Each structure stands twice: as structure tokens, then as C-alpha cells.
Homo-oligomer: A and B are copies of this chain.
Amino acid sequence: MKTVYMDHAAATPVRKQVVEAMLPYFDEHFGNPSTVYDMGSRIKHVIDEQRATVAELIGAKAGEIIFTSSGAEANNLAIKGIGLARQKKGKHIIISAIEHHSVLNSARFLERMDFEVTFLQVDQHGLVDPERLSRAIRPETILVSIMHANNEIGTIEPISDLSAICREKGVVFHTDAVATVGNIPVDVNELNVDLLSLSGVSLGAPKGIGALYFRNNLRLMPLIHGGIQESGRRAGTENVPAIVGLGKASELAAQELPHKAEHVKELRDRLVTGVHGRIEQVKYTGHPEKRLPGHASFCIEAIEGEALVFMLSQKGIYVNTGSACASKALKTSPVLVAIGVPPDLAQGSAVFTLNGTNTVDEIQYVLDQLPVAVEKLRSLSPIWRTKTAA
């Protein structure tokens, strides 16, 4: 059976060159970078090279990158690390209502530590309004965290407008760029952010590696305490093979990004046009233009997203419903609720995230199979029968 994988926001296969780059660090160059002999210092040097490569991808300096075990850990380190380090200045933070669970629940943790958290509403496309952010900032606000792009609806936030407001008011600004790094150009100076989280997922790097960019000399309470690895900001023996994998993936991403973005945008547009032409009563969620190039998200009337995902997977098509992390935790997506999608319609969420390896033929196959699956599900739906009979 044909396999068409369009759930790259949830996971991507690790690229062959990336695995090959990692392999020698499992058994040949296996030493602990903290040891004082040459075997250790050679590996320390390799880590520093990767740090520079990852930094370069986002316009940062090597010394501004902390390697973490995931994007989620980077988000936790940013939110809690800044919150706990700056709490003497104030205990108010602001995040958007559509942040990833790792940002949202880190903020909830701070609430338990007597912080106040403002959850900024977004418009019907998922955009945060700079004016609204400006009004929400108080003298005791120490941190604002707004994601670069949302994985569920693809919307890209106006980060540089938002960060400019924070810069002016002396508030630290963090962005969760897990959905963007590797998919669109990301430059920490253009974005003008103080902290930025990324993960290897969109880069074809392995699971188990992420990074936090932090502007030099920003004080941060470590999340994992212990030894002095990562300049004392993240303890634990460095995950050398995964760091090498992230470095290699970053190098490849830097070369391929322009072409990849163009390619997936073309496929995505073809998919969206096709869906609208073939299926009635479909809402395209997220911003129509300000969105990730390879991202298409729909809410399909009178179907259950999970059932659709399951049916498509029987045809070898892999897509998502809601966000990857939340999929088993929640029935109604908080992101879709935040942009005003009615709960019933929100049940019919289907998210397609493309990668450079997807093809026009694959899009065609999806456009052949998707309407069949939707029709089948609708034929079983009492809601649909009522609607269409009316």
C-alpha cells in the first residue's frame, strides 16, 4: 500500500545523513565531554562546533545556545527559568491563549508559585494583537511568551511587533519557535527576541534534542540542576550523538530552506484548493496568508477528526487532528475554541503538515481519498443527515 505521510509537525523521519553523522558518537567517540583527558576535550570541541551551527541557523552566537532534551524542555526552561530568576522584579507573566502545552503548563506551574498569568486572547485567525499585548503589560510584568507559529492552525504571529513593545517596556520576550525553525527563515535579531525554543522535529533531527536560545547574560534558573554543563544552565552529561544530529540537520536545513518552503507551499495550496473544490462545508482554519508554508488545517462539518484520521490511515495517509500532544488528552482543541470555532465543528479537525519529501502525486492521492472518507463518515452521521435534509 502507498504511504503518504503528512504529519510532519508530530514527527519526521531522521535523515540518512543525520543518522550517519551521529553513528560514530555512540561507540567510537563515546567519551564524556567533561573529562580532562584529550578524548573528552575533543568531544567538547565537537559539541561547540554543533552549537555554532545551530546558532547560525537562527542568526545567534554559539554561546547563546543551550541544548535541551526537547522543545518542551526548552519551553519549560524559558518560562520557569526566567520566572524564578526574575521574581523579585515582579510576578506577572503574559502568554497567548493558544500556546503549546509545555508553555501553558509551565505558566500554570508559576501560578502555583503565586505568579499571576494573563492569557491573551487571539482573533479568529489566531493572531495576537500588539495593541492588546501593550495594554496587558503592567509594571510587575517580567515575561511575555508568544509562539512564533501555531502547529494546529499554522498561523504565524507578528513576533517582531510584539517583541518591540516588550523591549520598550523592559519585559523579557520568549517565543516558542518549534513549529517554525526548519520551515521558514528564523532570525533572533529580526524577531528581536530574548529567548527562543526550537526542537529537532521540523529539521529531520532525532527525537530527544532541542535547544533554547537566550540573549547573552540573561539570568535563568536552571530546570535541571547538577553539574556545570551548558555553562551551568542545564546539568547532565551532554547527549553527544543527538547534539551532532541536530547540528547536521541544522546545516542541511540552512541549505535547503528556501527551496523547501517554496515546494511545500505549492503543494499546500494545491491541497487547499482541491479540498474546497471537492468537499462542501469545510472551514480552513488559521490565517489564510500569514501561515506556515506547508501547513493546511481544516474543520470538516459533521465528522469526528479521530475517525477521519483512522480511516485515512487505512489508506496509508497519515495526518493529524488537533495538536500531537493534546490528541489523547482533550476532546475539544483549546486552540480551535480560542479562534471561535464552534465545539461541534472543532471535532472535525484535520491537520496536514508537509515536508520537502512530499510530492504532487501524494497530494492527488489525498484529494482522491479524502472526499471518499468524508462522505462515508457523513453518511453515518445523524447530524449530517438532519442538515442536508433541511
Cβ A329 vs Cβ B227 within 8 A: yes
A101 near B241 (CB under 8 angstroms)?
no
0/1 interface trace, chain A 200-239, chain B, CB 8 Å (1 if under): 0100001111000000000001011111110000011111
Q: Give A224 to B73 CA distance when docked, in angstroms.
A: 6
Provide 7 A-B residue pairs closer than 8 Å at the C-beta atoms, listed in order of the A residue: A7-B32, A19-B26, A34-B327, A36-B310, A37-B310, A101-B226, A206-B241
**Which A residues from 155 to 186 make CB contacts under 8 A with B?**
none
Q: Which residues of B contact A229 (CB under 8 A)?
A: 325
Complex CA–CA separation, A240 to B37 (angstroms): 32
Are the CB atoms of A11 and B31 closer together than 8 Å? yes
Chain A 323-346 per-residue mask, 1 if CB under 8 angstroms from chain B, else 0:
011111100000000000000000
Tell me if A124 counts as interface (CB < 8 A to partner B): no
A70 neighbours in B (Cβ, 8 Å): 69, 224, 236-237, 239
User: Do residues A223 and B223 form an inter-chain contact, with CB atoms below 8 A?
Assistant: yes
Least distance between A68 CB and chain B CB atoms (Å): 8
Interface residue tally on A, bucketed by range: 35 or more
With A23-B19, A26-B19 as known contacts, state yes or no: A10 contacts B38, CB within 8 Å.
no
In the assembled complex, the CB of A215 is this many whole angstroms from the nearest CB of chain B, namely: 23
Chain A positions within 8 Å of B, measured between CB atoms, are 7, 10-16, 18-19, 23, 26-28, 30-32, 34-40, 69-73, 75-76, 100-102, 104-106, 108-109, 201, 206-209, 221, 223-229, 235-242, 306, 309-310, 312-313, 318, 320-321, 324-329
CB-CB < 8 A to A27: which residues of B?
A: 13-16, 19
Q: Which 8 A-B pairs have the closest CB atoms?
A: A208-B239, A227-B325, A102-B226, A69-B69, A72-B236, A105-B225, A70-B236, A37-B313
Distance of A19 Cα from B201 Cα, bound (Å): 21
Q: What B residues does A325 contact at CB under 8 A?
A: 34, 226-229, 235, 237
